[in-house]
């Protein structure tokens, strides 16, 4: 039997790993997406780049160096117009350590409490980087426009999904089915662009080091 295609995603977020696997599956049947908890420990780099693309590359480069596997990393966040594009690359750490979706959402709501509905626009941005053992690198981007509402709604997704309603929709991205979200989300759009590159990297004849435990 052919070896199961495997790729490393520099994340411990189980929902993000499954999301990535789900998006890749149509083009890479049987793909296994390994996360940080599936490989030997290594020193994770500081995400100190000023852009989503830069942070994604930092993580993907560290991943391929540590595992020898084709490595994906994404950096994403919410950019709110009334906050001059913030939280942006600071989205996951907006309320300070330790990381907490609930505290991040509470802080964002508090910061926008006096902002009228017509000025609560913003977008989610995502950059996905793929670094290959041979040194090749690819970066793609995706974007989802919408608005921040005044209360949390829904139990799906993660991060700020409970506060965000995409343009053309009435439900938050946390209230959408995974199929609906994948079709419109910033990460779904970026991964749709990245999937053919991953498929080519994992095609027969390309070797990857079995670094997973």
Q: What is the pLDDT of residues 7-61, one digit of tens each?
A: 999 999 888 888 788 878 888 888 899 999 999 999 999 999 999 999 999 999 9
Say if residue 186 carries a ligand binding annotation.
yes
- Chain mean pLDDT for the chain: 91
Gap between the Cα atoms of 96 and 175, Å rounded: 27
| 33: CB partners within 8 A, 6+ apart | 6, 7, 8, 9, 17, 18, 20, 21, 24, 72
For residue 1, pLDDT over 60 is answered with no
Mean pLDDT across 193-212: 69
- 115-166 residue pLDDT tens: 999 999 999 999 999 999 999 999 999 999 999 999 999 999 889 999 999 9
Question: CA 102, CA 110: separation in Å to the nearest integer?
Answer: 12
Cα 40 from Cα 37, distance rounded (Å): 8
pLDDT band at 110 (very low <50, low <70, confident <90, very high): very high
Which segments within 120-209 are labelled E, that is strand? 121-131, 137-148, 164-166
Instruction: Give me the sheet containing 121-131, strands edge to edge.
Output: 32-34, 6-9, 71-80, 121-131, 137-148, 164-166
Is 193 annotated as ligand-binding?
A: no
Question: Model pTM?
Answer: 0.87
Please give the backbone phi and psi of residue 87, each rounded to the nearest 5 degrees, phi first.
-70, -25
| Residue 75 β-bridge partners | 127
Determine the straight-line distance between the first and last CA of the chain, rounded to whole angstroms. Answer: 21
SS3 content of the chain, % helix, strand, coil (to 5): 40, 20, 40
Question: CATH fold of 6-201, please?
Answer: Maf protein (3.90.950)
Return the exposure string of 64-87: e unless at least 16 CB atoms fall within 10 Å of the residue's CB, then b: bebbbbbbbbbbbbbbbebbeebb
Whose CA is closest to 180, among 77, 147, 198, 172?
172
Catalytic residue among 75, 81, 101, 117: 75
**Integer Cα distance of 3 and 17 in angstroms:** 20
Q: Which tens digits make up the pLDDT trace of 172-189? A: 999 999 889 989 999 889
- Which pLDDT belongs to residue 155? 94
Res 4 pLDDT > 70: yes
Q: Does the annotation flag 158 for ligand binding? A: yes
Give ∠ CA 45-46-48 in degrees, rounded to 5.
135
Is position 82 annotated in a ligand binding site?
no
153 is in an annotated binding site: no
Integer Cα distance of 16 and 10 in angstroms: 10
Active site residue 75: yes
């Amino acid at each position: 039997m052919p070896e199961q295609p495997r790729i490393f995603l520099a994340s411990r977020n189980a929902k993000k790993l499954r999301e990535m696997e789900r998006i890749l599956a149509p083009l890479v049947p049987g793909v296994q997406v390994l996360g940080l908890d599936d490989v030997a420990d290594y020193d994770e780099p500081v995400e100190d780049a000023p852009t989503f693309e830069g942070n994604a590359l930092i993580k993907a480069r560290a991943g391929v160096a540590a595992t020898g596997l084709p490595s994906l990393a994404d950096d994403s966040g919410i950019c709110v117009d009334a906050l001059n594009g913030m939280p942006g690359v600071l989205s996951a750490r907006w309320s300070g350590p330790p990381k907490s979706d609930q505290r991040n959402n509470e802080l964002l709501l508090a910061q926008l409490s006096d902002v009228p509905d017509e000025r609560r626009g913003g977008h989610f941005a995502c950059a996905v980087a793929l670094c290959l053992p041979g040194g090749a690198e690819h970066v793609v981007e995706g974007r989802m426009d919408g608005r921040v509402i005044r209360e949390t709604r829904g139990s799906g997704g993660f991060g700020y999904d409970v506060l965000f309603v995409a343009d053309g929709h009435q439900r938050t991205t946390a209230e959408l089915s995974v199929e609906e979200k994948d079709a419109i989300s910033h990460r779904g759009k970026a991964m749709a662009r990245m999937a053919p590159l991953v498929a080519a990297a994992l095609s027969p004849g390309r070797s990857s080091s079995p670094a997973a435990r």
